Structure 1
Amino acid sequence: MKFGCLFTEYLQEERELLDEKCAHIEYVRLKKVLKSCQTCKPLHSSSSSSSPSPSPSLVSDLPSHQLCQCQSCPVCDQKFFSELMKEASDIVGFFGSRVKHLLDLHVASGMQRYVLRLRQCFKNDSGRDCCELNGVYGHFKCDLNVSDAVMTLILPDSIKLEYNLTCAICLDLVFNPYALGCGHIFCKSCACSAASVMMFQGFKAASPESKCPICREDGVYSKSVRMLELGLLMKRRYNDYWKKRLLSERNNMVKQSKEYWNMQSAYALGLH
């Protein structure tokens, strides 16, 4: 099954961006069930008549009504559809959890408690959240202009929003974007530099007094959110730029890690 092989290669290439709990259909496993189903009819006929099982060429010469019986084996049908339903339920559960997470991030703070209480009433019905997100998506349009570094969002009722994707520190398109608690978006490396922490340490190592470089609000690093969807959009649309920035960020991270551990070794040996 060529599609199953291509899909497996895609999952291996994108494993860094995909969630570890991401559910998908195992096409190879379903193909094994279909292969075993093709041999059910010859096996049943051989066991009933105590004669050797016919070859595949003889099976292909059977009348059409007998071939239909071979394709509708109750045992294999039950096994195939039970496997398919199990994987489909896992996929629905995964997407339902991701939709709930997106809704939690974009719900206004004043309505958060109200939405959380409503969720208790429908916690076993994730389709309602999917319908709500699908309703927004049906009237949603996103346009990304890399020359102006502006993302334009058109919401229902002709509401138009424009958001500047230029990092205020490096003055370039945001790479590996993070939104601080105040809502301003920066590159991860730029935000870590502003908070005087290493990239490999992350925002958790930032001081509570660290302020946003734009609005100067403190305590925003502990409430930061990784803009995974925006980063994936930048990678898809501008892959060359993304690869260039990725190489630069990795070199910078290796350099910072080397300096940090050299400093720690010097302190341990009493050289400072």
Structure 2
Amino acid sequence: MKFGKRYQEYMQGQVELPQVGIKRLKNMLKKCRKALPPEKNSLNSCVQDASESRCCQQHCQVCDGTFFPALVSEMSAVSGCFNERARRLLELHLATGLKKYVNVLKRRMHISHHDNLMQEGKDLVNYAIIHSIAMRKLLKKYDKIHYSKKGQEFKSHAQEMQIEILQSPWLAELMAFYINERECTAKKKGMAATEAMAATAVAGLFRECSLEFNEGKPVLCCSLFDSMKLEVNLTCSICLDTVFDPVSLSCGHIFCYVCGCSAASTSIVDGLKAADSKARCPLCRQDGVYNKAVHLDELCILLKNSCPEYWKERQQSERAERVRLAKEHWESLCQAFTGI
């Protein structure tokens, strides 16, 4: 089955969610192909004259004026919807205090409340994956028609605009949520991890979601259909150790909370929200990525359960480091206030 048909079938059951109009965007590219002069419309002539074969490699009035703006608009809507839905779902699951008490009452009145959360989490991961594949297919189509690499270059542009859905911090959180709940269900039912994985495998888009260790380094993996595999590296590029108390910047890169504060030149008391708007990510060098940083609570739970000895050791050393940094912060404030 072609991806376009599969995509349409999937989105028929997701009426309330925004989607990328694959057919409409492909029709835009067809119009671009029809707009070419007859001699430029055949592959043979394009191969014969390399200098003229690129119909609009540097500039295309049809696509630059319609295709890319439409794709940016639809990707922004999809990414924004996904982030908001994932945030609300995880806040509901990790609720504390009065919210947690209300959720307990709901679960008693409605036994399948937990199952509903699991199903919504799976649906959101599927939603992210299928739209990422749709974007990849569309951009490959663009490059095929234009004999260019502009479509591939657009991926970097989408990441800079923070509308690439696979770089969303909430996707890593949903993957961790899925693994945590799968293992929790396995413990309650007395199942082996492999049996639980098979029982909760999602038919269709992502076939397996797991935490793997490559040479002792943790990696969050998700095997997708269409021979794709999503991998999220969980090694902090600053301290070069497994991320502790992880946070994800809006560019998608994950760091330890203390390391992130250090990179942003802000104190752990003020937090990443107080970072300068010009502060850059240590990896991709994008600016303005700290203000929308997300604390990855589900990932924190997953790593704590998967690496208990490391987590306990790191927690002890981290506590001492945080006390020292907090003390330095308040002493500097007192000196600034008193002038002594």
Kindly provide the CA deviation profile for residues 207-243 of structure 1, in whole angstroms up to 9, marking residues without a partner as x. Answer: 1011001111100001222222222211111011111
Mapped to 2, the partners of 1:140 and 1:223 lie a distance apart of: 29
Distance 1:203 1:104, change over 3 A: farther
Q: Which position in structure 2 is the counterpart of 1:139? A: 207
Shift of the 84–228 alpha-carbon distance from structure 1 to 2, 3 Å rule, reads: closer
Q: CA offsets per residue over residues 22-52 of structure 1, 9 Å max, x none?
A: 46657xxxxxxxxxxxxxxxxxxxxxxxxxx
Residue 19 of structure 1 and its aligned partner are, at CA, apart by 2.3
Quote the offset at 1:203 in angstroms: 0.9
Pairing 1:1-272 to 2, within 5 Å after superposition: 18-20=94-96, 21-22=99-100, 86-88=109-111, 109=163, 134-135=202-203, 139-145=207-213, 147-151=215-219, 152-271=221-340
- Quickly say closer, same or farther: Cα 1:204–1:84, change in 2 above 3 A: closer
Distance 2:107 2:264 in 1: 49
Closer/same/farther in 2, CA of residues 251 and 136 from structure 1, 3 Å limit: farther
Contact 2:207 2:222 in 1 (8 A): no
**Partner Cα separation in structure 1 for residue 261 and residue 234 of structure 2:** 18
Report if aligned partners of 1:167, 1:187 keep a CA contact under 8 Å in 2.
yes
Aligned to 1:130: none
Deviation at 1:102, TM superposition (A): 6.9
Question: Could you list the runs of 5+ residues in structure 1 that have no partner in the other structure?
Answer: 1-16, 27-82, 112-132
1:144 alignment partner AA = E
State the distance in 2 between where 1:225 and 1:104 align: 20
Report the Cα distance in structure 2 between the residues aligned to 1:101 and 1:153, rounded to whole angstroms.
14
Question: 1:200, 1:253 within 8 Å by CA — same for their partners in 2?
Answer: no
CA distance change for structure 1 residues 136 and 236 in 2, over 3 Å: closer, same or farther? farther
Q: Distance in 2 between matches of 1:88 and 1:199?
A: 40
- TM-score normalised over the length of structure 2: 0.44
Instruction: Find the residue that maps to 2:247 and give its secondary structure.
Output: strand
Tell me how far apart the structure 2 counterparts of residues 255 and 105 of structure 1 sit (CA, whole Å).
41
Unmatched tracts of structure 2, length 5 or more:
1-92, 133-162, 166-200
Question: What's the TM-score once normalised by structure 1's chain length?
Answer: 0.54
Alpha-carbon separation, structure 2, partners of 1:145 and 1:185: 17
CA distance in 1, matches of 2:107, 2:290: 43
Aligned to 2:198: none
Aligned equivalents of 1:248 and 1:213: distance in 2?
23
**Structure 1 CA distance for aligned equivalents of residues 334 and 214 of structure 2:** 44
The DSSP-based 3-state class of the residue aligned with 1:256 is helix
| Secondary structure class of the residue paired with 1:223 | coil
- Contact persistence 1:210–1:218 (CA under 8 A): yes
- One-letter code aligned to 1:193: S
| TM-fit CA distance, 1:146 | 5.8
Equivalent-residue separation in structure 1 for 2:248 and 2:113 (angstroms):
30
Tell me if the contact between 2:247 and 2:254 (Cα under 8 Å) persists in the aligned partners. yes
Change (3 A) 1:196 1:103: farther
> What is the CA RMSD across the aligned residues, in angstroms?
3.5
Whether the 8 Å contact between 1:189 and 1:199 is mirrored in structure 2 is: yes
